[in-house]
Amino acid sequence: MKTKPLALVLVLVSAVVAIAQAPLRPGRWDTTMQMQMPGSPIQMPATKTSRCVTADDAKNPASTLPTGPEGRGGKQECKTSDYKQVGNTVTWQTTCAGSPPMTGTGEMTFTDDSYTGTMKMNMPQGAMTMKMTGTRVGDCTK
């Protein structure tokens, strides 16, 4: 697997964080994501981010979804569909047109102050799984 698809998928992290906001309480959330790519000679390190989820974000998470990541080869147009929330679990599908084209599914389960989830992405070079965890660490400081 080449590094170009990996760079595009890393940018999808922001989309996952935005999708995950639906059942989140406002506040500062720390998120960790680990990608697993069968057959890859390199294991990517876990990616850690911190984000303030505002009350407006929590009310309207769709407004924070990106239109798609910018890749080295041009714009990667991604669309989220079949977004469903049943109880404390959210599922969705993602389709990205561009170079390379990608499709995927995701599922996240929430508690008041944490979540766990998995997103599976398929592309011509192979498949990958992204495992995510998030923890609310307090109120936003801004």
Q: HEC states along the chain?
A: CCHHHHHHHHHHHHHHHHHCCCCCCCEEEEEEEEEECCCCCCCCCCEEEEEEECHHHHHCHHHHCCCCCEECCEECEEEEEEEEEECCEEEEEEEEECCCCEEEEEEEEECCCEEEEEEEEEECCEEEEEEEEEEEEECCCC
Two tokens, residue 132: 């995510």
Pairing of strands 70-71, 74-75: antiparallel
What is the reported pLDDT for 89? 87
What is the reported pLDDT for 137? 95
Which pTM does this prediction carry? 0.70
pLDDT in tens, 45-88: 898 988 888 888 777 654 444 444 444 444 557 788 888 888 88
The hierarchical CATH code for the domain 3-138 is 2.40.160
Question: Which residues on adjacent β-strands are paired with residue 48?
Answer: 32
